[in-house]
Structure 1
Amino acid sequence: MPQRLKASLAPAVKRVDAPRAAKPATPQASQFPSTAHDVARLAGVSQSAVSRCFTPGASVSDAMRQRVQQAADTLGYRPNLIARSLIKRESTIIGVVLPDLDNPFYASVVGRLSSMLTETGRRILLFRSPATDSSDPVLEDVLRYRVDGLILVSSPLSSTFADECVRIGLPVVQLNRTSMRARVSSVVGDNVRGAARIAEHLLRHGHRRLAYVAGQDGSSTSQERENGFTAALRQAGLTLALRETGHYTQDGARAATQRLLSLPEPPDAIFFANDYMALAGLSVARHAFGADIGRSLSIVGFDDIPMAAWPEFSLATFRQPIDAMCARTVEIIQAQLGDIGVAPQRLVLPGELVVRGSVRGGVVDPLA
């Protein structure tokens, strides 16, 4: 075959250059999270210095902290708290057990505890426990979340639960509640003296048929307030005329007030174990019975929640020192975290009587 024909029949061959090696793609922050080593390299410091900068309370200069923070911001770095907790065998989480958040008093307490614990590098995890005499926080839940300590706000504490916490070395503090457990710390307001001050004011302004609406009959706070109130009456030669239980709920307080004011000889003053119940009772007395609050009938609470100062309520009450109570609770937890063997403390902190328009001798707060 002629050479020319062979060439024409041969398949066309196209020259293709070998592909150049592609440059590796730049890692995306979402795919490859930055590490403490990356931050240290960018900031020109050691990895241990980076760790100290993200450890609350660690000794680090302001210049060092700023340099590391700038590098972390540039790289989008966030410290891995879970990994740190596994290494240190601590979660930096404090469990807070409370009955509910319906009562504004508890919301105020949680807010302050959260702020104060955050300043120490810790966070809170909320657990709800029914406000009954025999209930315990669920220990399995507490342990499952690896909390470092436990604050019981107005919650009961059985001997079984207390002993188990001591056995596993879990720091526990009761806030606004006490128990007979010798190895458990507690921080409360001055329930006895506060209730006595309330009784003294009511007696001074001519009340003689006084009633008390308890919270839970097994609650130490309710018992102490009743004890202080009745002791002051006895000192004046009187006894408690009437008693009801409101179960620390508004429905319970409404029903208790209805029963008291429906009697042939109703009380001329009612002391409720807390403001949450007192506000409910005040509404029933005013709207269902047409009571002239602060004149024919005086109503008093305990705690001084924000709503108590509202002009439409102007509720007289005994103010609990929430800031001081929470601060001391945090101090005790911190001390126990450092040494679980420290001696338990039982603190009673003073408060003050706040006289407003819901009682004789009181006036509506002009600043409310």
Structure 2
Amino acid sequence: MGASKVTSMHVAHLAGVSQSAVSRVFTPGASVSKKTIEKVRKAADELGYRPNVLARAMVSGKSGIIGLVVAYLNNQFYPEVLEKLTNVLQERGYHVLVFLASHAAGNIDRVVEEILDFQVDGIIAASVALSSDLSARCQSAGVPMVLFNRVQDDPSMSTVTSDNIAGGRKAAEFLLAGGHKKVGYIAGWEGASTQRDREAGFRAGLQEAGVTLHAREVGNFVTEQTQEATRRMFASDPPDALFVANDHMALAVMDTLRFELGLSVPGDVSVIGYDDVTAAAWPTYNLTTVRQPANRMVAETVDIILRKIEDAEARPRRVEIDGPLIIRGSARLPGGWKK
């Protein structure tokens, strides 16, 4: 074909089928015979043809693309979720475009505006908070959105999270059952609903037992800031137990306690995290943590976004999934409890 661009018309001519048949072969979910698929795929391979997804989106109104916005990937939970979301969506005939958005003012709005330019069929925002103006912009563009691991007050927004309040309460109950009296908490980014709800559940669990929070610091879900928060907390009158708002910070806390401050975990300090990332089960950490049921959260998220793509009138859903406390070795085991 020389330097000229290969088109679907060239593929149709070589395969001996109509141009519309070629289009159907490369359209997810379209009805087409196995024989036609084989002929078109063979011709496309010979010619080096690749369909123009964005051009097809302009014609059909559907791109087969889901935009996924994530705030950061250094927390192990999100690469694992990203893989699960991508696999499930691909099984359903969709592709994923990943966009990174920090918490910086205006950054998330700019990223979502960019996503809309790609004619995506839907948006999944993982641990990202959106302005009400941006939510309305997506709605007016006819692009459904689901918040993953975040909630907002907007009743028109679908959300999927673990039950963060219940998880925080479980952490409090376990530490109190272990006989701890001086209990501390290291918070994540305070603009996050997950941080807010985990702390609220934790404080409620302590309060019901007549115990007040002994110490509190903020790690902002960042390793270096968490290390500093741990140093401040243990500079004087340190706690004997800690609940940390996610595993990413909890691992940094454990490293600081053991290798910098010379403390034993759980001998001197019990530590509980939240997420149950892969590293939590490593013998190095053996972290007791509240598990986010990622598989179920992903399944619910995909179900909601695809249902909304298929039916614009589908009502928004708010899903909270309870996750278990995974008992390992980083927190004192209460009498009668088993790992």
Aligned residue number for residue 251 of structure 1: 224
Aligned residue number for residue 199 of structure 1: 172
2:193 maps to which of 220, 230, 255: 220
Deviation at 1:132, TM superposition (A): 5.9
Q: 1:51 and 1:128 mapped to 2: Cα distance?
A: 32
How many residues align structurally? Answer: 333
| Distance change (3 Å), C-alpha of 1:83 and 1:308 | same
Task: Say whether 1:170 aligns with 2:143.
Answer: yes
**Cα contact 2:54–2:119 (8 A) shared by 1:** no
Deviation at 1:80, TM superposition (A): 2.4
Q: 1:235 and 1:307 mapped to 2: Cα distance?
A: 32
SS at match of 2:212: coil
Q: 1:144 and 1:49 mapped to 2: Cα distance?
A: 28
Q: 1:81 and 1:258 mapped to 2: Cα distance?
A: 52
1:75 maps to which of 35, 39, 47: 47
The one-letter code sitting in structure 2 at the alignment partner of 1:122 is Y
Aligned residue number for residue 337 of structure 2: none
The one-letter code sitting in structure 2 at the alignment partner of 1:162 is S
Q: 1:303 and 1:247 mapped to 2: Cα distance?
A: 16
1:159 maps to which of 132, 137, 150: 132
SS at match of 1:337: helix
1:120 maps to which of 85, 92, 111: 92
SS at match of 2:130: coil
Query: Map of 1:101-120 to 2, 5 A cutoff?
Result: 101-120=73-92
Instruction: Please list every run of 5 or more consecutive structure 1 residues that lacks an aligned counterpart in the other structure.
Output: 1-26, 363-368
Q: Could you give the per-residue CA deviations for residues 193-243 of structure 1, whole angstroms, max 9, x where no partner exists?
A: 112122222122211211111112231101111111111112222122211
**Cα contact 2:25–2:32 (8 A) shared by 1:** yes
Deviation at 1:32, TM superposition (A): 3.8
Task: Say whether 1:236 aligns with 2:209.
Answer: yes
**Cα contact 2:160–2:301 (8 A) shared by 1:** yes
Deviation at 1:118, TM superposition (A): 2.2
Aligned residue number for residue 278 of structure 2: 306
Q: Bigger CA drift: 185-194 or 196-205?
A: 196-205
Percent identity, please.
42
**Cα contact 2:28–2:64 (8 A) shared by 1:** no
Aligned residue number for residue 280 of structure 1: 252
Q: 2:130 and 2:14 mapped to 1: Cα distance?
A: 51
**Cα contact 1:208–1:268 (8 A) shared by 2:** yes
**Cα contact 1:96–1:151 (8 A) shared by 2:** yes
Deviation at 1:39, TM superposition (A): 3.2
| Distance change (3 Å), C-alpha of 1:288 and 1:270 | same
Query: Map of 1:177-188 to 2, 5 A cutoff?
Result: 177-188=150-161
TM-score, normalised by the number of residues in structure 1: 0.84
The one-letter code sitting in structure 2 at the alignment partner of 1:55 is T
Aligned residue number for residue 337 of structure 1: 309
Task: Say whether 1:347 aligns with 2:310.
Answer: no
Deviation at 1:34, TM superposition (A): 4.0
SS at match of 2:135: helix
The one-letter code sitting in structure 2 at the alignment partner of 1:321 is P
**Cα contact 1:165–1:171 (8 A) shared by 2:** yes
Q: Could you give the per-residue CA deviations for residues 235-277 of structure 1, whole angstroms, max 9, x where no partner exists?
A: 22212221111111111111111111112x2111111100111
Q: 2:32 and 2:63 mapped to 1: Cα distance?
A: 23
| Distance change (3 Å), C-alpha of 1:133 and 1:76 | closer
**Cα contact 1:128–1:137 (8 A) shared by 2:** no
Larger radius of gyration: 1
Query: Map of 1:75-94 to 2, 5 A cutoff?
Result: 75-94=47-66
Q: Bigger CA drift: 145-154 or 59-68?
A: 59-68
**RMSD (Å) for aligned C-alpha atoms:** 2.1
SS at match of 2:216: strand
**Cα contact 1:127–1:137 (8 A) shared by 2:** no
Task: Say whether 1:96 aligns with 2:61.
Answer: no
1:291 maps to which of 245, 259, 263: 263
The one-letter code sitting in structure 2 at the alignment partner of 1:332 is I
Q: Could you give the per-residue CA deviations for residues 26-73 of structure 1, whole angstroms, max 9, x where no partner exists?
A: x44xx2444333433443433333322222222334343233323332
SS at match of 1:302: strand
Q: Could you give the per-residue CA deviations for residues 92-141 of structure 1, whole angstroms, max 9, x where no partner exists?
A: 33222221111111211222222222223332222222236886431432
Which one scores higher on RCO, CA 8 angstroms, separation ≥ 6?
A: 2
